[in-house]
Amino acid sequence: MKKHERKITKIGNSYGITFPKEFLKDAGLSYGDNVEMELKEGEIKLHKKEDVELPEGISADFFKILERNTKKHKETIEELVDR
C-alpha cells in the first residue's frame, strides 16, 4: 500500500486535497474523472464514479463483484470459451 501525506487546502468556499499523478494513475483515475465519496466509521473512501445507469435491482457494487469472480474463475471461463 502506498501512502502519501497531504494538507487540506482552501479552494474557493470549499476545501480540497491534491493527489500525486502516479497515485491517481495507480488508482485508475485521471483529471476530469468523477469520484464518489463515502464516509463510513470515520474513514473516507473514494472511488471512480461509473457513469452507467444500472437497471433496477442491480446494485452499485455489481461490477466489482463480477470482476472479482471473473478473476477468481478466469481459468474455468477461458476453458469454456475455447469449447
Q: Does residue 72 belong to any structural domain of this protein?
A: yes
Asked whether residue 3 is domain-assigned, the answer is no
CATH number of the structural domain spanning residue 18: 2.10.260
Q: What type of residue is 76?
A: T
What's the structural domain count of the chain? 1
pLDDT tens for each residue of 49-64: 876 777 888 887 787 8
pLDDT in tens, 28-49: 888 888 899 999 999 999 888 8
Instruction: Provide the pairing of β-strand 35-40 with 43-48.
Output: antiparallel
With a CB cutoff of 8 Å and minimum separation 6, the contacts of 38 are: 44, 45, 46, 47
Domain annotation covers residue 56 = yes
Is 63 among the domain residues? yes
Q: Determine the Cα–Cα distance for residues 20 and 66; give it in Å rounded to an integer.
A: 29
Query: Is the pTM for the entire model greater than 0.85?
Result: no
Containing structural domain, residue 13: 9-82
